[in-house]
Amino acid sequence: MTIDRTPSSPSLPSTLLSLSRRHAVAALAAGSSLPAIAQFRVEITGVGLTQLPIAIAPLRGEAQSPQKISAIVQADLERSGRFTGVDATGVALDETSRPDLSQWRQRKADALSTGSVTRLADGRFDVRFRLWDVVKGQDLGGQSFTVTQADLRLVAHRIADFIYEKLTGERGVFSTRIAYVTKVGARYSLWVADADGENAQSALSSPEPIISPAWSPSGSQLAYVSFESRKPVVYVHDVATGRRRLIANFRGSNSAPAWSPDGRTLAVTLSRDGGSQLYTIDANGGEPRRLMQSSGIDTEPAFSSDGRSIYFVSDRGGSPQIYRVAAGGGNAERVTFNGAYNISPAISPDGQWLAYISRVGGAFKLHVMDLRSGSVTALTDSSADESPSFAPNSRLILYATQQQGREALMTTTLDGKIKARLAGQGGDIREPDWGPFQKQ
C-alpha cells in the first residue's frame, strides 16, 4: 500500500506499518496554548429541498436561565437538515398558552414550540414545553423535566428529539454523544461530548497518541488504541467509571478496533503473524481469530449493521479499496470501484449506506454509497476529510476535516446539502465517532 506521509495528508488506513491516522494524530498543530475543552458554535450552511418551517418560541423565564434552551433546540433541528427556523423573538408564550395558530400560519410556520423554565427553591430547574401542529391546528403534546443546572443542555436536546420524532416519524439523535481526540501541545485527549460538540468531558489524557475511538453498541464503553506503552495497544474504557481493560497487546501492532452490533466481539487489525491482518476477538479479551489469509495490508474493519459482514480496507488489488467479508471469515468481495484510493468505511445503522473517504486529484473527500444500488455521491468540496461516522438514525454523517488551516468537526446530510461546522476553540480535533441512541 502506498502511504502518503505528507503533513497535509488526511487519515489513511491505520495500517500498522505507519500506525497513523495522519501519523497517529502527530500532525495536529502542536504548541497550541488554548484550553483543551472546546467551546463550539454551530454554523449551518446550505438549503435542503424539503425543510419544515418551525418556530421555537423563547421559553418563559429563559432570560434568567444559564442555558438558552430554545436556541439549543433550534440549532439541533436546523443541523438535522429537516427544519428551518421561523423568527419567534419577542413572543410571550408558555406551555399553558393556547396560541393563535392563524398568526403562525401567516408567518409560514408549520409547527410551534412553547414552554417555560423556572428555577426551584432547591436550585434545580423545572422545564416544560408543548408542541403545536400549526397546519392542522393540533396540540402534539409536550414534556416536563426537573433537572440540575448541569442537565439543562441535555433537556434541550431531549426536547429537540421529541419535536423531531413527532414531526418526522423518526427518532432524533440530539441527546446522543460523540467521541473525538484532540492534541494540545504534547498532550492527547479523548473527549466525550454532546452531539452538537458542546459539554466536552475528558475520558483520557496522555502524552502519547490516542487513536481510533469506537463506541460500543450500548453507549457505555469506548474502544481505542493507546500508544502509552510506546506501541499501539487496544483498550476498552468504561465511560462512566473510567475503568478500562486491555483487549489486544500482542507482538507487533494492535489497532483499528470495531464493535460487532451485539457488543460481544471486536474486529481488530494485528501484525502478530506478520503483515497487518484482520482478526476478531472477544470483547473481554482472549485469543484472537484470524479472518483471512492475505498477502496485502487489511485494516479499518467495520461491521455491517446486521453483524453478518465486515467491511475493511485492503491494498490486495494494488491500491487501497474497500472490501467485504463474512464475519466468520472467508473470501473477500470488493465493494468500491470508483477511484483509485478509498479508505475509512462506515456503515449506516439502517444498513443502506456506506460512507468512506476517496482521494480525488490529491484531495481526500467524503463520499457515500447506496449499498442497494451501488450509486456513489461526493458530499464535500473540502480536501482533507477523514473518519466518517453515522448518526444512530442514519440521517447524518459526522466527520473531521480542515477549514482555513484548522481542524474542524462537521456534520452533513446524506445528500451533502446541509452541513454544520462544530468549530472548536481548543486543540486540533481528530477521529470523531458518533455514539448510539441513549437508553431511555
SS3 sequence of the chain: CCCCCCCCCCCCCCCCCCCCCCCCCCCCCCCCCCCCCCCCCEEEECCCCCCEEEEECCCECHHHCCCCHHHHHHHHHHHCCCEEEECCCCCCCCCCCCCCHHHHHHCCCCEEEEEEEEECCCCCEEEEEEEEECCCCEEEEEEEEEECHHHHHHHHHHHHHHHHHHHHCCCCCCCCEEEEEEEECCEEEEEEEECCCCCCEEEEEECCCEEEEEECCCCCEEEEEECCCCCCEEEEEECCCCCEEEEECCCCCEEEEEECCCCCEEEEEECCCCCCEEEEEECCCCCCEECCCCCCCEEEEEECCCCCEEEEEECCCCCCEEEEEECCCCCCEECCCCCCCEEEEEECCCCCEEEEEEEECCEEEEEEEECCCCCEEECCCCCECEEEEECCCCCEEEEEEEECCEEEEEEEECCCCCEEEECCCCCEEEEEEECCCCCC
Say yes or no: domain 48-168 is CATH 3.30.70.270. Answer: no
| Statement: residue 343 has pLDDT above 90 | yes
Closest CA to 246 of 189, 211, 285, 220: 285
Task: Give the rounded percent of residues in the chain with a pLDDT score beyond 70.
Answer: 88
| Statement: residue 49 has pLDDT above 50 | yes
Q: What is the pLDDT of residues 236-284, one digit of tens each?
A: 999 999 999 999 999 999 999 999 999 999 999 999 998 899 999 999 9
How much is the pLDDT for 43?
A: 59
pLDDT band at 172 (very low <50, low <70, confident <90, very high): very high
pLDDT band at 289 (very low <50, low <70, confident <90, very high): very high
C-beta of residue 185 within 8 angstroms of C-beta of residue 32: yes
Out of 125-139, 284-298, 399-413, give the one with best mean pLDDT.
Answer: 125-139
Q: Say which range, 30-34, 132-136, 263-267, 324-328, has the weakest mean pLDDT.
A: 30-34
| Statement: residue 27 has pLDDT above 60 | no
How much is the pLDDT for 20?
A: 33
How much is the pLDDT for 24?
A: 25
How much is the pLDDT for 7?
A: 28
pLDDT band at 294 (very low <50, low <70, confident <90, very high): confident
| Statement: residue 320 has pLDDT above 50 | yes
The span from the CA of 5 to the CA of 12, in Å, is: 9
C-beta of residue 344 within 8 angstroms of C-beta of residue 356: yes
| Statement: residue 160 has pLDDT above 70 | yes
| Statement: residue 35 has pLDDT above 60 | no
Phi, psi of 66 (to 5 degrees): -70, -20
For residue 197, how far is the Cα from the chain centroid? Answer: 9
C-beta of residue 277 within 8 angstroms of C-beta of residue 294: yes
How much is the pLDDT for 424?
A: 53
How much is the pLDDT for 386?
A: 95
| Statement: residue 31 has pLDDT above 50 | no
Mean pLDDT value of segment 22-46: 35
Q: Could you tell me which CATH number the domain at 177-435 has?
A: 2.120.10.30
Mean pLDDT value of segment 360-367: 96
Mean pLDDT value of segment 308-329: 96
Residue 45 CB partners (closer than 8 Å, separation 6+): 418, 419, 420, 421
User: Integer distance in angstroms from the first to the last C-alpha of the chain?
Assistant: 45
How much is the pLDDT for 143?
A: 97
Q: In angstroms, what CA-CA distances link 397 with 22, 81, 178, 201, 266? A: 20, 12, 12, 22, 22
How much is the pLDDT for 293?
A: 87
Task: Show me where the domains of the chain are located.
Answer: 48-168, 177-435
How much is the pLDDT for 44?
A: 63
Long-range contacts formed by 124-129: CB under 8 A, 24+ apart: 124/148, 124/149, 125/65, 125/149, 125/152, 125/155, 127/59, 127/69, 127/152, 127/155, 127/159, 128/94, 128/95, 129/59, 129/95, 129/159
> How large is the C-alpha radius of gyration of the chain?
22
Average pLDDT, the chain: 88
pLDDT band at 367 (very low <50, low <70, confident <90, very high): very high
Mean pLDDT value of segment 413-434: 83
Mean pLDDT value of segment 307-316: 97
C-beta of residue 10 within 8 angstroms of C-beta of residue 357: yes
How much is the pLDDT for 22?
A: 34
pLDDT band at 408 (very low <50, low <70, confident <90, very high): confident
pTM flag (> 0.85): yes
| Statement: residue 42 has pLDDT above 70 | no
Q: Regarding predicted confidence, which is higher, 309 or 10?
A: 309
